[in-house]
Amino acid sequence: MEIRLMSIEDYDKVNQLWKSTQGMGMRSLDDSLEGIKKFLKRNPTTNFVAQVENNIVGVILCGHDGRRGYIYHTAVNIAYRGRGIGRTLVNTVVKALKKEEINKVSLVVFSSNDLGNNFWQALGFDKRDDLIYRNLIINERNI
């Protein structure tokens, strides 16, 4: 297995992995080819794929605003789970954020996503009960 920076050329395989992963919250514009291209351009050093031969079996999307990192769309192919791929992707992102002098990383998981919540808890990500997550839809076409 190889962990490497994600490139836009990986989009089709990564998108297929996201769509086949239960619990993912995909958006029509943000997660489109153009949306991911924009995200990768803004965050060129913090997005990674796990590759076995020519197959992408894991992905982690992460960006930062100069102060805090944000992890999005982490997924491992169901046939490859339990091998440490997710943990390795997270550790790779944390290392990349440290290199950019980012001191904290956050993420959002659907409360109904037991598998995801158990994964993040096992990696030491604290559940925050003191926050209320809020959204404002700016573009109604981003469904």
Locate the domains of the chain by residue range.
2-122
Q: Smallest Cα–Cα separation from 93: which of 51, 53, 128, 43?
A: 43
pTM: 0.93
Architecture of domain 2-122: 3-Layer(aba) Sandwich (3.40)
Q: Does the pLDDT value for residue 28 go beyond 90?
A: no
pLDDT tens per residue across span 2-14: 999 999 999 999 9
pLDDT value at residue 24: 84
- The two tokens of residue 53 are 């031969």
- The two tokens of residue 110 are 């659907």
* 14 membership: H or E segment, kind and range: helix 11-19
The single-letter DSSP state of residue 125 is: P
Amino acid at 75: A
Q: Are strands 55-64 and 48-52 parallel, antiparallel or unpaired?
A: antiparallel
Percent above pLDDT 70 for the chain: 100
pLDDT tens per residue across span 76-95: 999 999 999 999 999 999 99
pLDDT value at residue 25: 85
Q: How confident is the model at residue 65 (pLDDT cuts 50, 70, 90)?
A: very high
pLDDT value at residue 129: 92
Q: Does the pLDDT value for residue 116 go beyond 90?
A: yes
